[in-house]
């Protein structure tokens, strides 16, 4: 996919040209989806959504527990211009963590009466038992490994301080640094952190998901995962590996019928390299969301739902 500027006539405010961008204003040219997710490349996310179509994507997102009225029916969906809660984000990412099952949070586990008699007990949805499987387990596995690179090589590299090999996640930052997110997980535990003011306003130019939300996540998870061994996830049948990338067995190359729009409506700073170093000198604050004209009025959109 091409990380290059793109101009979309009629998609902006009042029918104007929409010109989304990477927040650092830098573009690295053709790259893999894994590299694009690792470095929060907005242009690639938009091109993926253009190829699959907004109606299909909006319907698919609801498998993760998000409601239809929370997701805008526009290309800004690719940049997370919906508005959801941290709990919803945690439940959504749990689908990737547990192999593709939709589980739900609960607060009350058991209820006892005054005599100590058990009156009611929660029967939670459990992955691989009674929870519905909402995505292909192979997709969950591939996404987990892609988001591990966000931690190992990309915008969430500070999570490496936990000294674990099973951590994955995604940073998020909204326009003007109003909201900052990090949702991180291992196969047994998902934690979502949100930082922002009660009355939305900018937190400053240095306030990114990777710089202010991620440290909070690390401080919590170093206790939550203390003494717990790393979890190794076996590769599902039907998944093949080439180098660092994993593929569905039936899709080891791009489908030629997929309507990809890889045109460039502006210059590319430096082509992406074959290795996994930060493109264009990117760091933990690079590449976050900028939805420009398609940003909703409440300005609480996320950088990336997935």
Output the pTM of the full model: 0.86
Give the model's pLDDT for residue 272.
59
Domains defined for the chain, CATH in brackets: 2-100+135-294 (3.40.710.10)
With bands split at pLDDT 50, 70 and 90, how would you rate the model's confidence at 280?
A: very low
Give the model's pLDDT for residue 255.
80
With bands split at pLDDT 50, 70 and 90, how would you rate the model's confidence at 34?
A: very high
pLDDT per residue over 89-127, tens digit each?
999 999 999 999 999 999 999 999 999 999 999 999 999
Give the model's pLDDT for residue 244.
87
Give the model's pLDDT for residue 215.
97
Q: Mean of the per-residue pLDDT values for the chain? A: 87
**Token pair in block for residue 57:** 């994507």
> Among candidates 173, 170, 176, 207, which has minimal Cα distance to 192?
170
Residue 250: C-alpha distances to residues 33, 237, 255 (Å): 17, 12, 10
Q: Higher pLDDT residue, 177 or 305?
A: 177
pLDDT per residue over 45-87, tens digit each?
999 999 999 999 999 999 999 999 999 999 989 988 888 999 9
Give the model's pLDDT for residue 276.
52
Give the model's pLDDT for residue 303.
35
Say how far apart CA 125 and CA 103 lie, in whole Å: 5
Mean pLDDT for 246-270 is: 88
Mean pLDDT for 282-297 is: 38
């Amino acid at each position: 996919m091409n990380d290059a500027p793109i101009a979309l006539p009629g998609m902006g405010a009042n029918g104007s040209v929409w010109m989304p961008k990477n927040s650092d204003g830098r573009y690295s040219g053709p790259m893999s989806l894994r590299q694009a997710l690792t470095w929060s490349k907005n242009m690639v996310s938009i091109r993926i959504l253009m190829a699959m179509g907004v109606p299909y994507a909006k319907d698919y997102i609801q498998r993760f527990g998000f409601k239809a009225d929370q997701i805008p029916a526009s290309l800004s969906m690719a940049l997370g211009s919906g508005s959801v809660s941290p709990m919803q984000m945690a439940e959504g990412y749990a689908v990737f963590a547990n192999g593709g099952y939709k589980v739900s949070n609960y607060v009350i586990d058991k209820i006892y009466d005054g005599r100590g008699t058990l009156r009611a007990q929660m029967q939670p949805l459990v992955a691989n038992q009674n929870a519905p499987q909402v995505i292909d387990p192979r997709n969950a596995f591939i996404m987990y490994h892609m988001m591990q690179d966000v931690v190992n090589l990309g915008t969430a590299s500070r999570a490496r301080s936990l000294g674990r090999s099973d951590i994955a996640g995604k940073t998020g930052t909204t326009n003007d640094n109003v909201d900052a997110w990090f949702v991180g997980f291992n196969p047994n535990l998902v934690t979502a952190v949100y930082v922002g003011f009660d009355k939305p306003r900018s937190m400053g130019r240095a306030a990114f998901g990777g710089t202010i939300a991620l440290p909070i996540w690390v401080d919590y998870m170093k206790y939550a995962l203390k003494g717990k061994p790393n979890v190794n996830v076996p590769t599902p049948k039907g998944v093949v590996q080439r180098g660092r990338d994993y593929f569905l067995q039936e899709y080891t190359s791009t489908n030629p019928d997929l309507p990809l729009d890889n045109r460039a409506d502006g210059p590319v700073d430096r082509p992406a390299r074959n290795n996994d170093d930060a493109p264009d000198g990117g760091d933990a604050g690079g590449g976050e969301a900028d939805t420009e004209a398609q940003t909703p009025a409440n300005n609480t959109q996320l950088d990336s739902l997935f």
